[in-house]
Structure 1
Amino acid sequence: MFKKIMVPVDLAHKEDLGKALNCARDLARHYGAEIVYVGVTTTTPSQTAHNPKEYQSKLDAFAQEQARDGDITASAKMLLSHDPRSDVDDVLLKAVGDTGADLVVMASHMPNILDYVWPSNGGKIAEHAKCSVMVVRGQV
């Protein structure tokens, strides 16, 4: 049913992604699908990496770890953004097409009052992606 699963990851908050990561690995094993872990960074230093090359290296290591621990096929794709906080949704939507994903599995927070004013990342991706989107709430 699914051949390529895109999983957006924020390496600065890996500990909050457990439930979504487990879900994606289970789906990948069930369908024999590949997972592509997508991370968005900037060219300026951040708390995660000093530069895009270092970020790509950390994202590759993350994907290899997930593949090994989950007995799946996985890869990593780094995307650059001038301002990830403001345009992460648009960058991720473009990545859906670029990666050929037929499913996006992403973590999301529990809805709150601000979601009525500013939609969540998961909500925008689910609304606009041209593939199936599974928004996974909560942590493991």
Structure 2
Amino acid sequence: MYNKILLPIDLNHKQSWSKALPTALNFCQTYNASLHVIMVLPNFGMPMVGGFFPKEFAEKAKKTLTDNLREFVKENVPKEIKVQRIVADGKPYEAILKMAKKIDVDLIIMASHKRKRLEDYLLGTNALRVVQQSKRSVMIVR
């Protein structure tokens, strides 16, 4: 039923993966699916943001994120599950949707978190935007 599962996470926020990861692993084991774990680095190239950081900052941040993601997968994903680690940049929901299309996933499994900021009420969460705009099935884990 599912061949490729996309799991967006943020290693700085355990709630982004603490419940979603076990669910994704269960689906991978049940359907012999591959797991594609994605982390999104904010786009530092934007003029408004990029001016505050040295030019090499984005490259260093991406390398650090890649290393951290590799360690996370090594510690949390069983060896028998085929896994791909992805570090993307940009707005989280846009990067998730773009990658889901690019690798042609069957299912996106992601966590939803409690709204804490006014921005979340006005603009909606990344999970909400993924659900609204995705052409693939999305499972939200609370």
Length-normalised TM-score, structure 2: 0.78
What is the CA–CA distance in structure 2 between the aligned matches of 1:134 and 1:54, rounded to whole Å? 29
Cα root mean square deviation, aligned: 2.5
1:90 aligns with one of 94, 113, 120: 94
Equivalent residue number for residue 19 of structure 1: 19
Unaligned runs of 5+ in 2: 45-52
- 1:103 and 1:133 in contact (8 A); partners too: yes
Match of 2:112 in 1: 108
Output the amino acid matched with 1:12: N
TM-score (norm 1): 0.79
Q: CA deviation at 1:96?
A: 0.7
* 3-state SS of paired residue (2:13): helix
CA contact (8 A) 1:66 1:74 kept: no
Mark the CA change 1:124 to 1:15 in structure 2 (over 3 Å): closer, same or farther: closer
2:68 maps to 58
Q: Determine if contact 2:15/2:111 at 8 Å carries over to the other structure.
A: no
* Paired residue type of 1:17: W
Q: How far 1:95 moved relative to its partner?
A: 1.0
Please give the secondary structure, in 2, of the residue aligned with 1:125.
Answer: helix
- In 2, Cα distance between equivalents of 1:39 and 1:22: 17
- 2:115 and 2:15 map into 1 onto residues whose CA distance is 19
Larger-gyration structure (1/2): 2
